[in-house]
Amino acid sequence: MRVTDSDGKQYTIEPETNLSGADLNSANLKGADLSEVDLSKADLRGANLEEANLTSANLKGADLEEANLAGANLKGADLSKADLEGANLEGANLTSANLKGADLEGANLAGANLKGADLTNADLEGANLKGADLKGANLAGADLEGANLTGR
């Protein structure tokens, strides 16, 4: 798959591709297969990653502020220290994902699957977790002030 960033630079993305630090601000990656791709510290602000496959992807420290990850598969992904403020993760699969220290302030996680996810010290202030599955999730030290934790 070929992707063009905001500066016109093109990337070929295959499993295990290293896009660490890449500028993919506002990129359209809807439905892209980014499994096992290294996107650590990448700029993905406002990117469209709806229904993308990010299984086991490395997004450590990535900037995903206001990104659309609705229906994305992030099973086993490393999102530790990632900025997901205001991101849309509605219906996303975050099973066993590492979200340690992630900023999810105001994020939409309605209906998301967070089974076994590690949310240690994550900022979930004002996040929408309505109908999210948190079975086995680690929320130690997480900030849930003003978060919506109602059922379906």
CA distance 49 to 35: 12
Residues ≥6 apart with Cβ < 8 Å to 74: 54, 55, 57, 59, 92, 93, 94, 97
The predicted model scores a pTM of 0.92
pLDDT bracket for residue 42 (50, 70, 90): very high
On the question of pLDDT at 9 being above 70, the answer is no
Which tens digits make up the pLDDT trace of 83-130?
999 999 999 999 999 999 999 999 999 999 999 999 999 999 999 999
Residue with tokens 């066993």: 96
Average pLDDT estimate for 62-80: 98
**Pair of tokens at residue 72:** 């994305």
- pLDDT attached to residue 10: 66
Mean pLDDT of all residues in 133-148: 97
Fold topology of 1-152? Pectate Lyase C-like (2.160.20)
Average pLDDT value for residue range 29-56: 96
